[in-house]
Structure 1
């Protein structure tokens, strides 16, 4: 059974979410907080697998609690729940280390899927959030890479081997390996799988 802390200042929302999660055998809201200060105190006195946290809360907002969680290396995943689809909120949550960001009006099944995915160690961003991120970040990331590196990354994301990419671009395998190494360094990604995920997440695979 996974232990979940729910932090939101709207009692009716907490009640509805608690009722929905009670239908899941492996998810349990073991504590609730109506403001950021309470959430932080609970995090310091108990262990949780996941925090479901609103951004706008009294006394201490969710973004600040998220920052504290990451600064203090608290072993707990964080899924931000918000009505805000503004890019400033979304990018802020990402920069502070949120494992996911989902809008409060998503269907219940999607919310459950998001919770389970984040608990499993993966990230989750609702479709609306992903579109905003793609539009905002793809241009920034493309600017980091040269045109040739962008092309190599796109071919990598399509599952092509170094040898096949070299054939496609009419260059040596060693040249592709050099491009690949440079891309990893620029994006601070260690594995090829990481490059593929990155390209897909930020629309660099097309």
Structure 2
């Protein structure tokens, strides 16, 4: 039996995934956490067959949590779940210690396969990506962006104002402006128009 720790800040999503996996005879969710801190607490009490970890959570980055898990429990299998495209985040998650990366818009069968593969110590990755190999996209400057900077980048490119971004992410406008300045600096550009052009040139879209 593969015993799973589910880490996601949306209770409805956790409930739906718990029902989905209950149909599988060889796996079950035995513990849940709503953020990275709770996930680490669960892991300090006991190991799990697989940790399902959301990339984007309120109150902390899933990638940061992944790095902490990998540092404290190097052999703990982790499968990352995300709404972000695989070609932009999978290699980064792998480098941080994940055994797999599955976009939330994929078929449930892919997630189930990823769990079984990770539990056996293997790697479930998008086509064309293998352990130790990174595709061209993650070598670009945007591979250095944090999860929060990615969120703000996408909203800016979508035409959302800094004030509205702050409202959606529960951040002050000043904080959003600081993140914007950091991501522009990392990409060596100076304006929103250049940011849009950068995303087009690098195939960054939703």
Report the equivalent of 1:60: 60
After TM superposition, give the deviation of residue 124 of structure 1 in Å: 0.6
Report the equivalent of 1:89: 89
Contact 1:78 1:98 in 2 (8 A): yes
Alignment of 1:18-167 (within 5 A): 18-85=18-85, 89-127=89-127, 130=129, 134-136=135-137
Contact 2:70 2:97 in 1 (8 A): yes
Q: Cα RMSD (Å) of the superposition?
A: 2.5
Report the equivalent of 1:146: none
Gaps of 5+ in 2: 141-206
Distance 1:91 1:80, change over 3 A: same
How far apart, in 2, do the equivalents of 1:37 and 1:138 lie? 30
How far apart, in 2, do the equivalents of 1:30 and 1:36 lie? 17
How far apart, in 1, do the equivalents of 2:46 and 2:9 lie? 20
Count of residues paired in the alignment? 137
Name segments (4+ residues, structure 1) moved above 6 Å. Answer: none
How far apart, in 1, do the equivalents of 2:98 and 2:107 lie? 21
Contact 1:8 1:57 in 2 (8 A): yes
Q: Which has the larger radius of gyration?
A: 1
TM, length-normalised to structure 1 = 0.60
Distance 1:117 1:13, change over 3 A: same
Gaps of 5+ in 1: 140-206
How far apart, in 2, do the equivalents of 1:6 and 1:73 lie? 17
After TM superposition, give the deviation of residue 130 of structure 1 in Å: 4.5
Deviations 1:42-95 (A, max 9, x none): 111121011000011123321111111111135310000000117553332122
How far apart, in 2, do the equivalents of 1:121 and 1:38 lie? 24
Q: Helix, strand or coil: the match of 2:32?
A: strand
Distance 1:137 1:82, change over 3 A: closer
Distance 1:74 1:43, change over 3 A: farther
Deviations 1:109-135 (A, max 9, x none): 1211111111111101244x849x544
Contact 1:3 1:50 in 2 (8 A): yes
Q: Helix, strand or coil: the match of 2:3?
A: strand
